[in-house]
Amino acid sequence: MAIYQSDLLIIGSGIAGLTTAIKYAQEKPNHKVIVLTKADANESNTKYAQGGIAVVTNATDSFEKHVQDTLVAGDGLCNEEVVRVVVSEGPDRLKEIIDWGTNFDKDEHGNYDLGLEGGHTENRVLHHKDITGFEIERSLLKKVKNLKNITLYPHFFVIDLITEHQIYHQYLTVDSPKKCYGAYALDSSTGKIETFVSGNTILATGGAGQVYAYTTNPTIATGDGVAVAYRAKAKVENMQFVQFHPTALYEPSESPSFLITEAIRGFGAYLRNKNGERFMFKYDERGEMASRDIVSQSIDKELKISGDDCVYLDCNHLDKSKFIHHFPNIFEKCLTKGIIITKDWIPIVPAAHYFCGGIAVDLFGRTNIENLYANGECACTGLHGANRLASNSLLEALVYSHRIFLDLKDKEAGLTVDLSMIPEWDDQGTNSPKELVVLTHNRKELQRIMSDYLAIFRSNELIDMASARLKILHEETEKIYKKTRISPQLYELRNLITVGYLIAEQSVQQKENRGTFYNVDNC
């Protein structure tokens, strides 16, 4: 049996995974780092982040203002200690990625062109046009390629973590003492499941937006990190808090939905209903600049009242040349749809965008499983509470990458298990699938259930109905899993069903409406 060994195994190639890999590899040039990613190296949630990074860099701004904006957006459920740590450490972490070659837009005076987004009381969002995430991913991958002790394996799909359950056949619970020894991963090019053993493992797998029919997340966002951690008995928290981005381009046949960054509203765009009314002031005194949860809920209410399919972003009054300079990709996308922003309104609807919950971690990214860390959207740090403040997620990933690195830096990196004790993946008795239509059908059914029953507004009855249907989908999929050789399609479906179950289960436990969570029976 071939075993891939490393001092540090990172699953995910976005900002959370790559930043940690770079820091660790630079500090320990004689240690080996392996990064696994399920698609191409540059395919991640980070790549699609349009808005930017919220960091205090302006003399009129302050840490306290950023802290308070975050706490208000999180609707009383943020961990204030975490908020203060992330906000105060942000400038140093920002400087590092700038030193690594990340470019952010500047004004004619050479100062950073700071954007304003919903929920912020100051302009503090650094951006690169409307493709900030793409620029960050580019610079990080370039840096990784120059570090010889990092090996990046694209098209490797994590299947399960290796714990005492596999080695000693122990039955584990969330409260059991346990260690992570690495992971099993499917090599998509060969169909073989390979064994990766490491002294420490980091889950940085991104989000799970594909659990919904309408999402801004790429097709890779199937909740893999949360699902494998949950199966390994890691603590998973706050999955009921799903943030819907208020302004995704309305294209019913397209998936994922094209994101229209809320920086456009910070730039001065108006939200209007079909009759031309700027309706946001009916719901919040901040109007278009209210936080994402408020804007999404307000749009949803407008659509339920009117029966319309979408509302609109009005950019007609904005300076065209400045708009194109700041948002070139959005301008071009609209043109391809026959929308001219100087005379047409942009049709938009809310779409699933970000999970505020995930794998529970402490201030150094440690999970309740020894030697297992989590970072990025798959982690629940406590920063976001019930609703993420715009552009805080890239900041969170940078800060927690550094804190995980600090914890690893002086930690013994050696393996804590005899390699001969780690079993190969056992797929005896399974066969290649004859057809994948059942998996495709079940995935679509899952997305429809989640979008109809567990989206912006919920009720006790809808949660119960979703749970009953998810149970049936789970049972059907497990029957297929037991007799079928593993494929990415099968495992993504299993992971998405797990995420759906966690959203339903933790929605039942949530007894008050906070942030992104709204149950009509809690009123």
Catalytic residues: 292
Question: How far apart (Å, rounded) are the C-alpha atoms in residues 337 and 331?
Answer: 10
User: Residue 154 has which token pair?
Assistant: 């694209």
Hey, which residues does 242 pair with through a beta bridge? 355
The residue with tokens 């997620």 is 393
- 293 close to 385: Cβ distance less than 8 angstroms: no
Helix (H) or strand (E) run with residue 479 in it: helix 460-483
User: Do the Cβ atoms of 6 and 198 come closer than 8 Å?
Assistant: yes
Name the phi and psi angles at 338, rounded to 5: 75, 20
Of the candidates 233, 295, 302, 229, the residue with the CA atom closest to the CA atom of residue 261: 295
Q: What is the pairing mode between strands 242-249 and 3-11?
A: unpaired
Of 394, 486, 512, 387, which is closest to residue 433 (Cα–Cα)?
A: 486
Closest Cα to residue 473, out of 455, 451, 500, 509? Answer: 500
Q: Where are the alpha helices (DSSP H) in 168-239?
A: 224-231
DSSP labels for 431-457? B--S--HHHHHHHHHHHHHHHHHSSSS
Pairing of strands 3-11, 192-203: parallel
The helix/strand/coil state of 428 is: coil
Residues facing residue 360 across a β-bridge: 380
Phi and psi at 272, nearest 5°, equal -130, 150
Q: Is 198 helix (H, G, I), strand (E, B) or coil?
A: strand
Question: What gap in Å lies between CA 8 and CA 21, rounded to an integer?
Answer: 8
Pairing of strands 182-187, 125-126: unpaired
